Amino acid sequence: MLVYSMKKTGKAYTSFDCEASEKDIKELLPLIRRRVKIPNRLELSLMRGTENQGISMLSNPKLWAIVMGVKETDIKYSGEATCPNVTNRQTAGELTSILNQMYQSPLYQEREPFRGEVVYKEGGRYVFKE
């Protein structure tokens, strides 16, 4: 009997605005991950802007439209989270926890507004994490 194991990898994408430098954000991320108990297996890539996210109009037109909308609003950062053996929704939840904790950190000034979104694919379409 052959048994196939389908290993699922959850994926979620984010874009957010923050006046802190990319270096400052990346230095604080390990502490933020520990505070909100993010699993070590979750991988997060973060970059300034959206150009290097590897999203092309041909490979993923729906997500490209979302990212292009973000570019029009001058959001400074984008990122992708992946986590093996969980759903896209669960990965989006972990990514949302990271962003919420970032907003509570010294990366943001008191009363500085937060602008950002988390997007994941569910049922064949991209949805925003609430």
The mean pLDDT values, 10 residues at a time, for the chain of 130 residues are 63 89 93 92 82 51 61 74 93 95 93 87 83
Q: What is the domain partition of the chain in residue ranges?
A: 17-128
State the DSSP code for 42. -
| Residue appearing with tokens 């292009």 | 68
The pLDDT value given to residue 112:
87
| Residue appearing with tokens 């994490």 | 129
Cα distance between residue 48 and residue 66, in whole Å? 16
Contacts of 25 (CB under 8 A, 6+ apart): 18, 46, 77, 102, 107
Closest C-alpha among 61, 110, 54 to residue 79: 54
CB 47 within 8 A of CB 6: no
Cα distance between residue 34 and residue 110, in whole Å? 23
The pLDDT value given to residue 108:
93
The pLDDT value given to residue 74:
67
The pLDDT value given to residue 17:
87
